[in-house]
Structures are given as C-alpha cells and as structure tokens.
Amino acid sequence: MFLAMKQIILFFMLLFVVFSLSAYDYQTVYSHRTALYADSQGAIKSMRIDSVKFDVDSILYPLKNIQQLDVDCSTPYGASWLGSKIIINKQWNYFLNENADTIKIKTDAKLNETWTVYRKTDTEIWATVTKVELLTFLGLTDSVKTIVFTEA
C-alpha cells in the first residue's frame, strides 16, 4: 500500500513537471538570462532583464542604458535598445519603445508566415519567418527562427 502511494505521488509530481515544462515554444527574451542577438551584418548585442511583473502576461523591464541626450549630456536611465518594457504572452511578444510605439513579434509564427510588426501613420513594417533551424552559439544549441523585416 505504501509503495503504491509513493508511485502515485511520484507519477503526479512527474506529470506536474511535464506540464510545467510545456511553456511557450519560442520566446524573444527570457527574464532569467542575458540574451544575445545578431543582426544581418553579424554585429552582436546583448540584453538583460532588470525586473519582472507577472500578471495575465509577463511584463519584463530591460536594464537601463547610458544614453546621450545632447552633445554634453547623458543619462544613466535611458531605455534599453529593445525598449522600455516587453510584454510576453503565448503567441506574441510586444516591445514598447521609448516613444510608446509597439513592435509585435509573433512567436508562434510558422515558416513563411507574414504579419505586421509595426504600423504608424505613413509607415508599415512586415515580418516573415524565413528559416527555422538549430544553431549553436557559444556552446549552446537552440532552435532559432530567422525573421526578415520589410517596409510595406
């Protein structure tokens, strides 16, 4: 009886872990690690989250950066190059820049899928997933989506 009870408890603990691990397939930013990004010229930028608020969605606040305001004036409290905050949910990641504009990345987009990333009066930017592959960077292997941005 005691052995059967231990097996049942172990089964439910394992089931809980499996369901806990079935988080989002792709995510642009993680709150617990420094992220590295490469652009089309191979330049690499990094980003780290300073604080997190959990509500229905996760709201991430990137570490502030030193930014030049004028020729002789800088601030240590400037927004990150990724914006002032990032909202993460199951299908979308929303990046809010310093002007409160929203850039939308569709994390569950399939290969060759296109969506509107940014729209403002006379500007519209589209994104298309052009490649999905396994890549290794600094010894870490992960699945990566390549997204190409075009002006509509």
| pLDDT tens per residue across span 59-81 | 888 877 777 788 888 888 777 77
pLDDT at 41 over 70: yes
What 3-state class would DSSP assign to 91? coil
Cα–Cα distance for residue pair 27/29, rounded to 1 Å: 6
Q: Regarding beta strands 102-106 and 92-96, do their DSSP bridges make them parallel or antiparallel, or are they unpaired?
A: antiparallel
The predicted pLDDT at position 17 comes to 39
Q: What does the pLDDT read at residue 25?
A: 62
Q: Which of 127, 91, 130, 132 is nearest to 112 (CA)?
A: 130
Residue 14 scores a pLDDT above 70: no
Instruction: Say how many CA atoms lie within 13 Å of 29 toward its Cβ.
Output: 30
**What pLDDT score does 18 carry?**
38
Report how far residue 45's alpha carbon sits from residue 128's, in angstroms, rounded to the nearest whole number.
22
Task: Assign 48 a pLDDT band (cuts: 50, 70, 90).
Answer: confident
Q: What residues does each domain of the chain span?
A: 25-151
Q: What's residue 97's pLDDT?
A: 79
Tens digit of each residue's pLDDT (9 = 90 or more) over 86-141? 888 888 888 887 777 888 999 889 999 999 999 988 889 999 999 988 888 778 78
- pLDDT band at residue 1, thresholds of 50, 70 and 90? very low
Judge contact between 88 and 29, C-beta under 8 A: yes
19 pLDDT more than 60: no
Residue 83 pLDDT > 50: yes
Which band of pLDDT confidence, cut at 50, 70 and 90, is reported for residue 9? very low
